[in-house]
């Protein structure tokens, strides 16, 4: 036994490995299940009792030496060993990391915000869970006024004199802006709105609007018309024309709906503009004096205009999306269509 130990010891002293593979082979040969040192431990069981102490010590020392040598050889080979050892094929193509794309509604919102920023408008935001006062009352919808039915409302807490509800339009942010900002006010307010509507290709219970408000001395309908015309030309192209049709909103007087000339058929009539040559894009008007007064603004001194538009509608016109539900279903095939619109 003694001789065998010495032989392995000598072998260990001589041991030199150049590659990780050789180190691993040496480890198996010496310390593996059927390795030489392992075999010596097996043999040790049969050694005479009085010799056990001496052999036990040398055997343990041998094992420790072998382990240390193997470890140090592995370390010395370092990165080379890992590379040589690894079965990775470095020429294999990597896992592609797909870039996300911006949602069409976000793209349109950003475009509108950028256009109005150029005209000197600030961006304002307000809460999605609003109270009746900011969504209706301060906007000249008296209690029980039939105009409230124009917008089916989701109530959060009903039966209260000023119940909480999910805002049905971003016009509520005009009220907050008039309450909190110094005059003159020039803001646009993008945001999500909610209506209790059956979901279909043309209606959804969630959608997005951008509201605009300008209040100053001597603001006139001509200013409104000019602001909308400039916006329409930036958004839909320099040849775009607008037309205004009289309309009704409780918070503006007079009120109008605005159409832009169809940028697909250029007025000839196509199935997008339903043969009319015009596409409706927004509602607007001169802020009703009652609305100014409700927010503490002197309507004798100040006047203003406001407008509001649906982002899904604008995106629909821009990309000819024919079903509102696409915007909310997150179907990758739909979302990927807008990849090219990424702005970094
Ligand atoms: N709040 C209106 C809606 O949701 C849109 C609107 C129309 C906003 C006219 C305005 C406006 O500021 O002047 O249908």
Q: pTM above the 0.85 mark?
A: no
For residues 145 and 298, the model is more confident at: 298
Structure letter (DSSP) for residue 217:
T
Q: How far is the CA of 309 from the centre of ligand 1 (A)?
A: 7
| pLDDT exceeds 70 at position 79 | no
The 155-157 sheet, strands edge to edge: 129-131, 164-166, 155-157
Summarised one tens digit per residue, pLDDT across range 3-47 is 888 888 888 888 888 888 888 888 898 898 888 898 888 888 888
For residue 343, pLDDT over 50 is answered with no
Question: What values do phi and psi take at 187, rounded to 5?
Answer: -135, 155
pLDDT at 41: 86
Backbone angles phi, psi at 218, to 5 degrees: 60, 35
Residue nearest to atom 2 of ligand 1 (CA): 308
What the block records as the tokens of 151 is: 């917008």
- Virtual torsion, Cα 87, 92, 93, 97, nearest 10 deg: 0
**Number of the ligand 1 atom closest to the C-alpha atom of 211:** 12
Nearest CA to ligand 1 atom 8: 308
Mean pLDDT, the chain, rounded, equals 89
The H-assigned helical ranges of the chain are 2-14, 20-31, 36-44, 49-85, 104-118, 132-135, 171-180, 221-236, 289-294, 311-319, 326-329, 332-335
Which tens digit of pLDDT belongs to each residue from 239-279? 999 999 999 999 999 999 999 998 788 878 887 788 899 99
Give yes or no for residue 136 CB within 6 A of ligand 1: no
- Tell me the average pLDDT across 56-71: 88
Out of 38-47, 119-128, 175-184, 232-241, pick the least confident.
38-47
CA gap 175, 195 in Å, rounded: 19
Residue of 301 and 319 predicted with greater confidence: 301
Give yes or no for residue 312 CB within 6 A of ligand 1: no
> Would you say the CB of residue 175 lies under 6 angstroms from ligand 1?
no
User: What is the model's pLDDT at position 173?
Assistant: 98
> Residues 199-220: what's their mean pLDDT?
95
* pLDDT recorded at residue 50: 83
- Cα–Cα dist 163/148, whole Å: 14
Q: Is the Cβ atom of 284 under 6 angstroms away from ligand 1? A: yes
* pLDDT (average), residues 214-238: 96
State the distance from the centre of ligand 1 to the C-alpha of 308, rounded, in angstroms. Answer: 4
CA of 249 to the centre of ligand 1 (A): 7
Per the CB < 8 A criterion, the answer to whether 243 and 257 are in contact is no
């Amino acid at each position: 036994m003694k001789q065998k130990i010495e032989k392995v010891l000598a072998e260990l002293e001589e041991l030199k490995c150049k590659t990780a593979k050789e180190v691993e082979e040496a480890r198996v040969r010496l310390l593996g299940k059927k390795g030489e040192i392992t075999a010596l431990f097996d043999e040790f069981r049969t050694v005479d009792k009085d010799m056990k102490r001496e052999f036990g010590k040398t055997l343990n020392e041998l094992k420790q030496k072998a382990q240390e040598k193997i470890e140090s050889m592995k370390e010395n080979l370092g990165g080379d060993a890992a590379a040589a050892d690894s079965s990775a094929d470095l020429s294999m193509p990597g896992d592609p990391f797909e870039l996300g794309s911006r949602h069409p509604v976000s793209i349109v919102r950003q475009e509108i915000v950028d256009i109005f920023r150029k005209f000197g408008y600030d961006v304002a935001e307000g809460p999605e869970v609003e109270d009746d006062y900011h969504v209706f009352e301060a906007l000249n919808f008296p209690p029980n006024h039939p105009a409230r039915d124009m917008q089916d409302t989701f109530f959060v807490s009903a039966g209260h004199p000023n119940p909480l509800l999910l805002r049905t339009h971003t016009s509520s942010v005009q009220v907050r802006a008039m309450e909190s900002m110094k005059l003159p006010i020039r803001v646009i307010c993008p945001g999500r709105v909610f209506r209790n509507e059956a979901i279909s290709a043309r209606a959804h219970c969630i959608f997005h609007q951008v509201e605009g408000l300008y209040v100053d001395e001597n603001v006139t309908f001509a200013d409104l018309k000019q602001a909308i015309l400039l916006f329409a030309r930036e958004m839909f192209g320099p040849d775009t024309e607008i037309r205004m049709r009289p309309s009704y909103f409780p918070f503006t007087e007079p009120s109008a709906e605005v159409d832009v000339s169809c940028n697909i058929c250029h007025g000839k009539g196509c199935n997008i503009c339903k043969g009319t040559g015009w596409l409706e894009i927004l509602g607007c008007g001169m802020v009703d004096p009652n609305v100014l007064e409700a927010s503490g603004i002197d309507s004798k001194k100040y006047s203003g205009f406001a407008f509001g538009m649906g982002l899904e509608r604008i995106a629909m016109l821009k990309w000819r999306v024919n079903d509102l539900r696409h915007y909310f279903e997150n179907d990758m095939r739909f979302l990927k269509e807008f990849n090219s619109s990424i702005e970094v």
